[in-house]
Each structure stands twice: as structure tokens, then as C-alpha cells.
Amino acid sequence: MLMKAVTAIFILSFVMLLNTSFNSGRNLPPVVVPVIKPLADSLALPKQLADEKYFGSVLDIYPSTIVGNFGEPRRLHFHTGLDFRTNQEEGHKVFAAADGYISRINVSSVGYGNSLYITHPNGYVSVYGHLQRFNAQIMQRLRKEQYAKENFAVDFYLQPSEIPVKKGDTIALSGNTGGSGGPHLHFEIRDSAERIYNPMLFGYKLKDDMKPVVSFLKFYPLDDLKYKSDGYRTKVLGKAGNYEVTGGMVKLNSGQVGISVNTFDVINLSDAHIGIYNITVFDGDKMIYEYQMDRIAFTDKRDVLSHTDYPVFVNEAHRTFHKCFVEPGNHCPVYCTLANSGVINLSDEKVHDIHMEISDFSGNVSLIKFKLLPDKASTLFKEKELKYTARFDYDHENEFSNSDIKMKMPVGCLFDNVFFNYSSALSTDASVFSKVHELDNSNTQVFDWFDLAIKTENLNPALADKAIVVYKDGTGATTSRGGKFENGFITCKAREFGTYYVRLDTTAPQIKPLNVVMGKNMRPYKKLLFKITDNLSGITDFDTYIDDNWTVTDYDAKFSALTHTLDQNLSVGEHTFKVVVTDERKNRAEYSIKFAM
């Protein structure tokens, strides 16, 4: 049975995935079959797509290793590529994976930071993120666009004839820009419909003879106790890829049960805990669930909130429990086989032999075996009283309102039915201009945006355009949701449950010089460094000028850092550098300083 993960993962289950999952969910168009050499003959792939050598190395570090893989559960999304290790350094050469042309350049202070897209003759697009800088030709094209738009952040497309590249050409240097948590190269492969594929399907296989690690199982009642119990967690014991539950038997007081497994993969030459490729669950000889990370679309990324036990993920340092059952509002096309949505039916009152296989892309398999038995005398599922204000059905539009708040959630916002709790209270904080509203709690996952309107209290109408809705999650972190004042309410878009209230943002952003003082000769330093911050609504725009002429300055939001690289051809003498920063509520700050060259 263990050999199934090597063979069926590449043949049977992927064919099933093509026939079912790829064309289910959110109306995905027909799949463009990726490069999978074992399937080339059976699926009659074009010869050039069956060649795993089509794409080559993308980084000047050998042997390559990764710190993150495709499909790995992250905060609010599945990871969409491979994160190649750059030894905590910036400046490594980044190569074009194959012949093609630079089709898109995207520069941002968040997300992928400095990123490049190469369109290849085989119809696929390779993506390179968090780059430090591009090669000279690409930089020249970028600067042209930035000066034309007078904006640091640009996202634009190029014609095939503008910047052609050959396989192995140096296109950039690796970096740490955008939302990167440290220096590395983020690499993706997409098709023309912007669906993202596991790069390992295209030959990016790394040395890996290590089996996935399994630590815990968690069981969930899915009958009448479904909304009245937090489930039951138990540790698994084992080594060398063979695991079992203490005693070998789990007795549960529920006739319908779901399972999740706390697991991660490890790989040679890396100490990273990375994502699992394939999970299968068997009830006796019948496969009831199979998950496989071959392809997702951007519209599916947020389904990670349903696939994982997300309250555990956010409250236990990203400990990942993969649910081996699928909630009705989860449409992510990564489930190859589903019998009864992965729910195990114990109503027959018989012993069920369960085994689970956890596999990585290289075919290393860990096995978990145990027995499940329904037992009404069991107390593992502890019942709690179900109190709620309103029931929200996942397959309906849901509305909730009173004199102080209005919510409207379209179909598709929820993964499952929610027994919604609401409360509100007056605030003793003089900076809060509404009641403080508790919309259930931040552990309840929401897939998509919904409309939220909060009535203001004691708000000066003259300051209405400075009022914003603030969201506070379970950790106490706050985020502005902006909003528009109308008829005494601030209306905004939200996509989390938790705490909401209204505040004013009348404070301008702050600008602080880091390496320049008045009159200082900056030619030896080559760069002007500033820190820009905002107290509430967030920075939305900035401009920089030298001697009243707009000039490009790089911005990294995670460090609040503005970096202007000085033109060494700037004339000798005194110059003025000016920074203008605006936040989302149109509060504006300006700072000027004279320096010498």
C-alpha cells in the first residue's frame, strides 16, 4: 500500500484530479495539462511539454534548496511557489528559467516587491519575486515607466519584442523586497489563465529522502454535536514514517466524524518545515479522501482558512492541522477523491480501520494506523451550550442589523453554517466615535468581503471624512478598513469577524531622515535614507523631489523605509531633497532638507 503514493500520486490520482477537481469549484476553465513526464504518453501531451528539462536553474546557488514549497499553508493563503534559499543574503544572480520574453514588471512596497514575469513559447509564465533589482536593460525600462507615471509602484505589461531573454540569462539579483520575511527567491509557474502550478511538476525536484513528520490527530463531531464541541486532539507516536495512536483505538461519542492531521514535510539540505504534497485517508479498503497540491488559482488561495484548523494555526504559532474532510463552502480544487466529503460514518456501530498516508512530492510516505469505534459512553467530545444571536447559512445571503450596525454578506462568504454571536458596548475611550461591536470572534473564518456599516457617536460632521472603521483581531492587532460617511454611518468592506469601531485619523504621517543632516555631503554615501510611518489609516502615496523635479525613490513597507539612490552625475553643489507623504484619509506631511554633492 505504501507504494501507492509513488505510483498513484503521479498517475491515478492526478488523472482523477484532471477529471474532477480541476473543473469543479469556482467554474475553472478546462485545465492546461502541466509537464508530468510519467503521464506524457497516457495523456498525449505535446512533446515539448513532457520534457522536464524545458525549465532550468533559476538561481546561482548549487545545490538548490528551499525554505517554502507550493501549497504550504500560510496566513490567509496557500503558498503559490517555491521559496529558494539564498543563505540569508541578497544579491545572488537570478536566471531566466527558459527562453521567452519579459512580459510584465511589477514593483510594489508589499506582496512580491520587485517582481518579473517571463512568458515562454510553451504557453507558461515563470514568476520571480522579492528581487533586489533587475538587470540594466530591465531597470532602464522600469525607470522609463516610473518617470512617465511619477510613481514608484508600477505594474505594466511589455510586448514580446521589447526584452527577449534566453534560458540562463541573468535577469535580476535576489533580494528581500515586498512582503518577504527574509532574503530568498520566490519562484512560480503559471498558465495563461493565471492558474499556478507546483513547479516540481516541471522538473524542479530537490534531493529528498526524508519522510513527513506527524505529531497529532484531531477529531471533530459532525452530527448534532458539530457546533457544540471543540473536538478532541491526541498525540500520535512512531518513527521511521510509521505512526499510531496510543492504545490503537479511539472511542468517540458521535456518529459522524471528521479528522485532521498535524503534519509537515522536511527535506535534505534545509531545516525548514514545509508543506505536505499528498494526504489520503482510507476507511477499511475504501479511499474516502485525497488531497494533492498540484495546482490552484488565486481565487482559491483563501480556502486555506477552511482547509486548516485555522484557530489552532493562528493561536499556536502556525501549527498546521490539515482537515481531511471538506466543509461545504470550500471549493478549492485540491481534493482528488471525496466520499461523503471525507466524513467518516460511524452510525453502523462497528469498528472502523483507518489508515492515512502522508506523502511528499518525492514519494516519501508516512503511515498512520488506528481504529475508530462509536461509543455513546465516551466523553472525548465535550458538549458545551450553544448560544447565538443569529444563524448564518453558508449557501444563502445573510443580513444582520440593528440601530447601530448593518451587515450584509453575499453568498460565498462562509465555508459552513455559522451560529453568529453579536454584542456591543459603549467605549470609555474618547478617541472612539461609535459603540464597540463584537461580530462573533476572529476564529470564525470568512472567505470573502461583506458590507459593514457602523453608526457613529458624537462625531463632528466637519470631521466625517477623517472617520474610519477599525478592525481588531483576537491578538489585539488593529487594521483600518477605511470607509465612507453617509447618513450617520461609516460604511466599509470587511472580511473578518471580530471587533469593530470608529476612530478619527487627523494625524499626518511622520517623515524621519536616517543618514542625512542639513548641508551634509552625500556623494560618498550614495543613498538618502528615510523612515516614513503613519499612525492609523496607512500610507497610500508618497512623492520625492530633487530641486523640485520628481525623482524615483524605493519604498519597503515592512521596514517603513524610503531609499533614494543618488545619481552620481548630479552636479557638484547644494541640492534640496523633498518628501511628501499622504495617508488614506488625505492627511499630508512634507519634509525638505538641503544636502551637498
**How many other CB atoms sit within 10 Å of the CB of residue 194?**
10
Q: Which of 28-32, 75-79, 128-132, 387-391 has the lowest mean pLDDT?
A: 28-32
The residue type found at 212 is P
Last-in-domain residue among 202, 229, 263: 202
Q: Are residues 326 and 474 in the same domain?
A: no
Could you list the residue range(s) of the whole structural domain that residue 468 is in? 390-504
Last-in-domain residue among 374, 405, 425: 374
195 Cβ neighbours under 8 A, 6+ residues apart: 28, 31, 32, 295, 296, 297
Per-residue pLDDT tens digits for 230-259: 999 999 999 889 999 999 999 999 999 999
Q: Are residues 306 and 220 in the same domain?
A: yes
593 Cβ neighbours under 8 A, 6+ residues apart: 513, 516, 517, 518, 576, 577
For the chain, the domain total comes to 4
545 Cβ neighbours under 8 A, 6+ residues apart: 551, 576, 577, 578, 580
Q: Are residues 530 and 544 in the same domain?
A: yes
Q: What is the pTM of this model?
A: 0.90
- Residue 174 domain flag: yes
Per-residue pLDDT tens digits for 495-512: 999 999 999 999 999 999
Upstream peptide bond of 63 is cis (omega within 30 degrees of 0): yes
| Mean pLDDT of all residues in 123-128 | 96
| Mean pLDDT of all residues in 324-346 | 95
Q: Are residues 327 and 413 in the same domain?
A: no
Q: Are residues 319 and 451 in the same domain?
A: no
Torsion angle defined by CA atoms of residues 437, 442, 445 and 448, in that order, rounded to the nearest 10 degrees: 50
Buried b (16+ CB within 10 A) or exposed e, 531-567: ebebebbbbeebbbebeeeebbbbbbbeebebebebe
DSSP at 14: H
> Could you tell me the CA-to-CA distances from 435 to 227, 318, 488, 489 in Å, in that order?
29, 32, 13, 12
- Residue 163 domain flag: yes
CA distance 577 to 137: 27
Tell me: pLDDT of 9 over 80: no
Tell me: pLDDT of 23 over 50: no
- Residue 68 domain flag: yes
Q: How confident is the model at residue 7 (pLDDT cuts 50, 70, 90)?
A: very low
- Residue 5 domain flag: no
Say if strands 213-221 and 256-264 run parallel, antiparallel, or are unpaired: antiparallel
Identify whether the C-beta of residue 409 lies closer than 8 Å to the C-beta of residue 398: yes
Q: Are residues 363 and 220 in the same domain?
A: yes
Q: Are residues 230 and 303 in the same domain?
A: yes
Identify whether the C-beta of residue 494 lies closer than 8 Å to the C-beta of residue 471: yes
Q: Are residues 85 and 155 in the same domain?
A: yes
Give pLDDT, residue 239.
85
Report which of 297, 293, 300 is spatially closest to residue 279, judged by C-alpha positions. Answer: 293
CA distance 19 to 35: 17
Report which of 437, 545, 439, 423 is spatially closest to residue 498, judged by C-alpha positions. Answer: 439
Last-in-domain residue among 147, 177, 202: 202
